[in-house]
Structure 1
């Protein structure tokens, strides 16, 4: 992985953890599984619904 790509991945992980925390998750693994199991949740969290 190119150093810049590694930095971007690190920032994305940090933002994901922060978002899950704001949603009330204290366990990042549980929050990641919650989002993974239903793609509609991801869209809703990002505010991409009408």
Structure 2
């Protein structure tokens, strides 16, 4: 998760792009949970 925090902080990825890294039923290979997404972006997944 630390990589994604840094990437978002330095604007290497947008919140919309970060959604692609969240593990879901349709994306079982995601790297972060929806709770981690909210922690990084401050937005609900």
The TM-score with structure 2 as length reference comes to 0.26
Greater C-alpha radius of gyration: 1
Structure with more relative contact order (C-alpha pairs < 8 Å, separation 6 or more): 2
